[in-house]
Structure 1
Amino acid sequence: MTGSPQRPLLFLDVDGPLIPFGAAPDQYPVHATRREPLAADANPLLTRLDPEHGPRLAALPCEVVWATTWMADANECIAPRLGLPPLAVVIWPEPSDVDDEDERNGLHWKTRTLVEWAAGRPFAWADDEVTDTDRAWVAVHHPADALLHRVDPRRGLTDHDYAVLGSWLGRLF
């Protein structure tokens, strides 16, 4: 008897994909959330979180993992507002441990860590800073399928982004 295969991963950034930024502030709707913050004025950008992302992310056939500098705070501040359970969190290396040569060559500082974290599992990465350099590096250094999907930070995750992620994840089964 063989075990069931592990579901693919979705590494998810917060700033940009879930909390849009970069456009005029009046262009962003204010969303009611499932849970108000402990201090309502703690982070005014949290009102940009669209609670509809929670059910849409939960419906994807994957394991969602926080890949954000929010780290564990994403489970405290973001997940409850989206109606998500606590998610796994990627722990980033100390800045002194990031390869300066990678940065000079255009590789994002998250890329190596995400490939290590995936440990050979298929993964998608939704982030506003993904580049072709990251895609090329992952194609050479990761043995499984990977989708590195750039999200427009001014808009955050859109129907189009969910369609791309859903289609790619659907091809894996």
Structure 2
Amino acid sequence: MPAAADRPIVFLDVDGPLIPFGGSGRRYPPADLAPGDHPLLCRLDPADGPKLLALPGELVWATTWGEHANEVIAPRLGLPGLPVVTWPDSEDDPVGGRHWKTAGLVRWAAGRPFVWVDDEVTDRDRRWVAACHPGPALLHRVDPRAGLTDADFAALAGWLDAADRRSAGHA
């Protein structure tokens, strides 16, 4: 297994992948919400936490929730505190139609292989990352109505396992 600094990064968005926007007829497990809590927190699936922890990569929050994801989301999923990507103000209006997160994630990855799990990934982002990121990357779009599914987890695990094997072959 590669050293932690060589492991692929798994950039996680919250709204859409972990907090689905509904419309799928999915039932959500009961959640203990305190007054003032975000009303959609009840849509978090605690089963996603162990599935995320089982992925062979370093989990990193890539969400506008910022550090708040460690305070509110992580405990509900059974996750430890995770590193958080901070977003520079200069990425609000990126050129070329790419997502405003794209360049920041490539900078944060600094050449390491990464997966980006988000509901707003487009082919423009994929093309830009392929042209500007020297390492392998999977930009995985999640259906925001359903959130992360078993098929998504299987796709992520398969890509990460292959990245682990490629990395081990270069060690």
TM-score (norm: length of structure 2): 0.89
* Alpha-carbon separation, structure 2, partners of 1:29 and 1:129: 23
Summarize the alignment of residues 125-144 of structure 1 with structure 2, pairs less than 5 Å apart. Answer: 125-144=116-135
* Alpha-carbon separation, structure 2, partners of 1:7 and 1:152: 26
Summarize the alignment of residues 144-163 of structure 1 with structure 2, pairs less than 5 Å apart. Answer: 144-163=135-154
| Helix, strand or coil at the partner of 1:170 | helix
Please list the CA deviations of residues 39-64 of structure 1 after superposition, one character each: whole Å capped at 9, or x if unmatched. 24421100000000000000000001
User: Which amino acid counterpart does residue 80 of structure 1 have in structure 2?
Assistant: P
Task: Answer yes or no: is the 8 Å Cα contact 1:32–1:51 preserved in 2.
Answer: no
The percent of aligned pairs where both chains have the same amino acid is 61
Match of 1:30 among 28, 37, 44: 28
Report how far residue 23 of structure 1 moved: 2.0
RMSD value, Cα? 1.7
Task: Answer yes or no: is the 8 Å Cα contact 2:94–2:100 preserved in 1.
Answer: no
Which residue number in structure 2 is paired with residue 19 of structure 1?
19
User: Which amino acid counterpart does residue 117 of structure 2 have in structure 1?
Assistant: A
Which residue number in structure 1 is paired with residue 168 of structure 2?
none
Which stretches in structure 2 are left out of the alignment for 5+ residues? 166-171
* Alpha-carbon separation, structure 2, partners of 1:69 and 1:57: 19
- 1:85 paired with 2:80, answer yes
Which residue number in structure 2 is paired with residue 44 of structure 1?
39
* Alpha-carbon separation, structure 1, partners of 2:103 and 2:94: 13
Report how far residue 30 of structure 1 moved: 2.8
* Alpha-carbon separation, structure 2, partners of 1:124 and 1:74: 18
- Of residues 41-50 and 141-150 in structure 1, the stretch that sits farther from structure 2 once superposed is 41-50
Task: Answer yes or no: is the 8 Å Cα contact 1:9–1:118 preserved in 2.
Answer: yes
| Helix, strand or coil at the partner of 1:29 | coil
* Alpha-carbon separation, structure 2, partners of 1:170 and 1:22: 30
Which stretches in structure 1 are left out of the alignment for 5+ residues? none
Aligned residues: 162
* Alpha-carbon separation, structure 2, partners of 1:119 and 1:101: 19
Q: Structure 1 residues 55 and 99, CA, compared in 2 at 3 Å: closer, same or farther?
A: closer
TM-score (norm: length of structure 1): 0.88
| Helix, strand or coil at the partner of 1:10 | strand
Which residue number in structure 2 is paired with residue 100 of structure 1?
93
Report how far residue 115 of structure 1 moved: 0.1
Runs of 4+ in 1 over 3 A off after TM superposition: none
Task: Answer yes or no: is the 8 Å Cα contact 2:21–2:146 preserved in 1.
Answer: yes
Which residue number in structure 2 is paired with residue 164 of structure 1?
155
Q: Structure 1 residues 101 and 120, CA, compared in 2 at 3 Å: closer, same or farther?
A: closer
Report how far residue 130 of structure 1 moved: 0.2
Please list the CA deviations of residues 103-139 of structure 1 after superposition, one character each: whole Å capped at 9, or x if unmatched. xx21000000000000110000000000000000000
User: Which amino acid counterpart does residue 66 of structure 1 have in structure 2?
Assistant: W
